Amino acid sequence: MSRRIITIGRQYGSNGRRIAKKLSEKLGIHYYDKELIKLASEQNDISYDELVKVDEKRANPWRYPVEDPAQMESRFRFEPMNDVLFYTQAQIITRLADTEDCIIVGRCANDILKSRPTSRSIFIHAPLDYRLQTVMERTSLEEKEALSLIKKVDKQRKFYYNYYTDKKWEEMSQYDLCLDSSAMSEDEILNVLTALYESIL
């Protein structure tokens, strides 16, 4: 039986992860973000630290997989670690959707669960100035470095999503609900998402 699932895509600096965590506390259900890497590490017996390096990043099409020492084992010799992680996480996400109500951040979860009638997809975004301020406060970086980081992470997430779903990450029409986190208070956003969760039948 499918459970109620909220998937959250997010621009870097839009506070999507923070909102997911707060929502999980409000609803009393788990949220999965970096935890998915840990579960994938345990399932495949691969170092967590190695998987973190390729999390939400597509494989480099110009680089042969065995250039990475972690992929020298025969079982990974012809498959980029990015692919190993993505397909393992897809299995885990599907399994979670069968067993518990939860919130899943990123990892193309909205597309993986698109056929589930009890899954709702959210995209959290915000103007660049707002995200820049958030990242500067979060990381203590200067403006130039923070801007560079935002562009880098968003580019990685976009390429990753587009590659594995054959869709466009920032195409709002593929999400059930898109929210500008700068336009509403955190409590207002949580109230909207709580109502959405409770409306799932």
Read off the pLDDT of each residue in 27-40 and give the average, rounded to a whole number.
95
Most confident of 64-68, 70-74, 104-108: 104-108
Q: Which of 5-9, 53-57, 121-125, 177-181 has the lowest mean pLDDT?
A: 53-57
Sheet holding 119-125, edge to edge: 30-32, 102-105, 5-10, 119-125, 177-180
Domains of the chain: 3-197 (3.40.50.300)
pLDDT of 127-148, one tens digit each? 999 999 999 999 999 999 999 9
Number of Cβ within 10 Å of residue 94's Cβ equals: 14
State the Cα–Cα distance between residues 117 and 22, nearest whole angstrom.
24
State the Cα–Cα distance between residues 128 and 146, nearest whole angstrom.
11
Stated pTM of the model = 0.88
Residue 62 has pLDDT above 70, yes or no: no
Among the listed residues 29, 26, 25, 39, the one whose alpha carbon sits nearest the alpha carbon of residue 4: 29
Residue 66 has pLDDT above 90, yes or no: no
Residue 173 has pLDDT above 60, yes or no: yes
Residue 61 has pLDDT above 90, yes or no: no
Hunting for tokens 């039986």 — which residue is that? 1
What 3-state class would DSSP assign to 135? Answer: helix
Residue 81 pLDDT class (50, 70, 90 cuts): confident
State the Cα–Cα distance between residues 179 and 14, nearest whole angstrom.
10
Name the burial class of residue 115, with classes exposed (0-12), middle (13-18) and buried (19+) by CB atoms within 10 angstroms of its CB.
exposed
* Exposure of 179 in the CB half-sphere (CA atoms within 13 A): 24
Alpha helices in the chain (DSSP H): 16-27, 35-44, 48-52, 81-99, 109-112, 128-139, 143-165, 186-199
Q: What integer pLDDT is reported at residue 60 of this predicted model?
A: 64
Beta-carbon contacts of 32 under 8 Å, excluding residues fewer than 6 positions away, are: 39, 93, 96, 102, 103, 104, 105
